[in-house]
């Protein structure tokens, strides 16, 4: 069995008049994330980690932010296509360990719904997805509530 590890990171600015999408679910918040797509930083970090683990470059290579077809796209579609890409090379997800950094909204109550949404899109068991939430103790752009960042590590396997 071949085992590979990948790491992903993403960040988007928080702005008014945008919906807040994280982990494939919509959260009620006065601001949302700015981006070409729905700007779901968690799903983008996971896509980058998966693509990196499979040595398939990054999310921007496969889904460029200057392509009209991806304007305002639901990042769950990008995640599903990323799974198709890695599976085309014979890889399957082992597990995901992800962390989202945000001062607000509080994310812990939403983690079960995020795991459920991601597992459904990826066609994997919810137990294969770990999502953690943290703040930056009011430090930096995250602490000032200017943006949200996410980190993801994945393990993929090939028989």
C-alpha dihedral, 81 to 82 to 87 to 90, nearest 10° = 150
Please indicate if the annotation marks 137 as binding a ligand. yes
Please indicate if the annotation marks 136 as binding a ligand. yes
Please indicate if the annotation marks 99 as binding a ligand. no
Please indicate if the annotation marks 135 as binding a ligand. yes
Contact 75, 40 (CB under 8 A): yes
Please indicate if the annotation marks 60 as binding a ligand. yes
3-state secondary structure of 64: coil
Please indicate if the annotation marks 11 as binding a ligand. yes
Q: Name every residue whose Cβ is closer than 8 Å to that of residue 69 and which is 6 or more positions away in sequence.
A: none
Please indicate if the annotation marks 57 as binding a ligand. no
Please indicate if the annotation marks 9 as binding a ligand. no
Please indicate if the annotation marks 75 as binding a ligand. no
Please indicate if the annotation marks 144 as binding a ligand. yes
Nearest to 108 by CA among 133, 143, 136, 135: 133
Residue 35's CB is within 10 A of a number of other CB atoms, namely 22
Supply 106's token pair: 């509080």
Please indicate if the annotation marks 36 as binding a ligand. yes
The C-alpha atoms of residue 144 and residue 71 are separated, in whole angstroms, by 28
The C-alpha atoms of residue 104 and residue 101 are separated, in whole angstroms, by 9
Please indicate if the annotation marks 63 as binding a ligand. no
Binding-site residues from annotation for a divalent metal cation: 10, 12, 44
* Binding residue ranges: 10-12, 36-37, 44, 58-60, 134-137, 141, 144
């Amino acid at each position: 069995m071949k085992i590979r590890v990948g790491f992903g990171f993403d960040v988007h600015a928080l702005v008014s008049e945008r919906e807040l999408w994280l982990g494939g679910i919509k959260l009620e918040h006065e601001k949302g994330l700015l981006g070409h797509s729905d700007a779901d930083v968690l799903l983008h970090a996971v896509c980058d980690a998966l693509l990196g683990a499979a040595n398939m470059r990054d999310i921007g290579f496969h889904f460029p932010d200057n392509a009209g077809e991806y304007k305002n796209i639901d990042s769950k579609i990008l995640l599903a296509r990323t799974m198709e890409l890695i599976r085309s090379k014979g890889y399957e997800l082992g597990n995901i360990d992800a962390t989202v950094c945000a001062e607000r909204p509080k994310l812990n109550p939403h983690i079960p719904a995020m795991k459920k949404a991601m597992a459904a899109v990826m066609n994997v068991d919810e137990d294969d997805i770990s999502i953690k939430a943290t703040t930056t103790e009011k430090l930096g752009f995250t602490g000032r509530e200017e943006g949200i960042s996410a980190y993801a590590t994945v393990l993929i396997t090939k028989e």
